């Protein structure tokens, strides 16, 4: 049951990262929340395997902290990568004038 709550927390943190950071028009609406959900779930399971009890606060803080950092990092990397790719494509199209030539 706790894994469900932590997955929901990961999705909410992913949504917060998507809408709080600039450049959200460069990637899909559910990509960053899905990554947040995945990271939260994996970190939670890893920490439980390492022996942290689920009813103490540390596992919650560590999991949600790692999830927030990962969501922000992925969002910023996606925006940078997509913007760079769009600029390269524009440069190629302006230089060649034809979209099928590389």
Please calculate the CA angle 92-82-19 and round it to the nearest 5 degrees: 150
Local confidence pLDDT in tens for the 102 residues of the chain: 788 999 999 999 999 999 999 998 999 999 999 999 999 999 999 999 999 998 999 999 999 999 999 999 999 999 999 999 988 888 888 876 665 655
> According to the model, what pLDDT value does residue 2 have?
87
- How many whole angstroms separate alpha carbon 5 and alpha carbon 79? 28
Q: What is the 3-state secondary structure (H, E, C) of the chain?
A: CHHHHHHHHHHHHHHHHHHHCCCHHHCCCCHHHHHHHHHHHHHHHHHHHCCCCCCCHHHHHHHHHHHHHHHHHHHHHHHHHHHHHHHHHHHHHHHHCCCCCC
């Amino acid at each position: 049951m706790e894994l469900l709550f932590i997955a929901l927390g990961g999705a909410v943190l992913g949504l917060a990262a998507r809408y709080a950071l600039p450049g959200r028009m460069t990637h899909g609406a559910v990509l960053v929340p899905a990554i947040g959900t995945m990271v939260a779930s994996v970190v939670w399971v890893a920490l439980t395997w390492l022996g942290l009890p689920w009813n103490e606060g540390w596992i919650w803080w560590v999991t949600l902290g790692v999830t927030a950092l990962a969501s922000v990092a992925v969002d910023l990397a996606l925006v940078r990568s997509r913007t760079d790719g769009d600029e390269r494509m524009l440069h190629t199209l302006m230089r060649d004038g034809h979209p099928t030539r590389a």
